[in-house]
Amino acid sequence: MPPGRSVVAAGTSRYQASCGSYSIPAYGPLAVSKPSVLVTRRIPSSVLTRLEEAAEVELYSRGDLPHEELIARIAGKQGLLSVVTDSIDRAVLEAGRDLKIVSTIAVGYNNIDIAAARERNVIVTNTPDVLNESTADLTWSLMLGVMRRIVEGDRLVRRGGWKGFALDFMLGSDLRGKQLGIIGFGRIGQAVAARAPAFGMRVAYTGRGPKPGVDGEFMPLDRLLSTSDVVSLHCPLTPETKHLINQTTLARMKRSAYLISAARGPVVDEAALVWALENRLIAGAALDVYEKEPEIHKGLLAFENVVLSPHLGSSAIETRTTMIQLAAQNIIAVLAGQPPLTPIP
């Protein structure tokens, strides 16, 4: 073990994960005075090392940290490095009386009770911007995947169903000349829009109001839904956006249009989407996120014109590494008494 390394809960440390039952000897006053940080997932060892220089790190490396265990482990911690599936609710914040910072490795923070954190002066940070391009790329993959029937075609080939070239075989939809309607024209929505000229698509967007100096036509939600050939969701999950895509809004879309979502699952009412697909109210859908991940509405699995990816928006190795580094830097800064790099607004 390198000198100066501090590991508190050997039961969950990296050493435990790799060495079985490594027992850590008692530490001197220097180590004891370090702040404590709970990390709820395995992170790259380079980032873990940086964090261990600044804090006693308790690493949970066994996958999903059960909520009750999170509550038990948060006591006495000043920092929490968490992921999108950790519910940082009032109970967690109450148990974490010493918390100074909750740093989530994500841009969305709908899993954190922001009001409860503010009441306790707990700083909440996220990882904006660094995942814009990866998430925009994934969005275009979904769009191309469903409109050009790539995933459906792959399934056909694998089951031996391809009988050869034919002029009218598996015809999809062109993107060129179509309208891409973006709901939530923020960092990721605009990164998606920036790729539209390369595919010959014009951009429309909706949100809380027009944004000066951006390429794209602002329109109210209703008009965007009824005129777009692709509707792509990039708004955060809030009480206002929950089930924003429902029977009413789906019925307003063109029958030839596609729905894409790389936002958050509950923005789409999955039962309503199944209903719209059954009634051929839209041409298809491609989703990266789901209402009750990792469960997916069974009805969606039946459609060939639906592409389902398992929450891959930011999951490119370079981007994930940068996100984890940024999230750790936020903790290191705050525990050193400095301002966070990327506090939530």
| Binders of ligand NAP in range 218-277 (CB under 6 A) | 234-238, 240-241, 262-264
314 lies in the site for ligand NAP, by CB under 6 A = yes
Q: How far is the CB of 128 from ligand NAP (least distance, A)?
A: 5
CB of 291 to ligand NAP, least distance (A): 13
Among 8, 55, 151, 188, binds ligand NAP (CB under 6 A): 188
3-state secondary structure the chain: CCCCCCECCHHHCHHHHHHCCCCCCCCCHHHHCCCEEEECCCCCHHHHHHHHHHCEEEECCCCCCCHHHHHHHHCCCCEEEECCCCCECHHHHHHCCCCCEEEECCCCCCCECHHHHHHCCCEEECCCCCCHHHHHHHHHHHHHHHHCCHHHHHHHHHCCCCCCCCCCCCCCCCCCCCEEEEECCCHHHHHHHHCHHHHCCEEEEECCCCCCCCCCEECCHHHHHHHCCEEEECCCCCCCCCCCECHHHHHHCCCCCEEEECCCHHHECHHHHHHHHHCCCCCEEEECCCCECCECCHHHHCCCCEEECCCCCCCCHHHHHHHHHHHHHHHHHHHCCCCCCCECC
189 belongs to the binding site for ligand NAP (CB under 6 A): yes
Mask for 284-303, x = binds ligand NAP (CB under 6 A): ----xx--------------
Q: How far is the CB of 345 from ligand NAP (least distance, A)?
A: 8
Q: Which stretch binds ligand NAP (CB under 6 A): 46-54, 90-98, 179-187, 247-255?
A: 179-187
Q: Is 208 in the site for ligand NAP (CB under 6 A)?
A: yes
Interaction of residue 216 with ligand NAP, rule CB under 6 A: no
Catalogue the active-site residues.
Answer: 264, 293, 311
Contact residues toward ligand NAP (CB under 6 A) are 107-108, 128, 131, 135, 183-189, 206-208, 234-238, 240-241, 262-264, 288-289, 311, 313-314
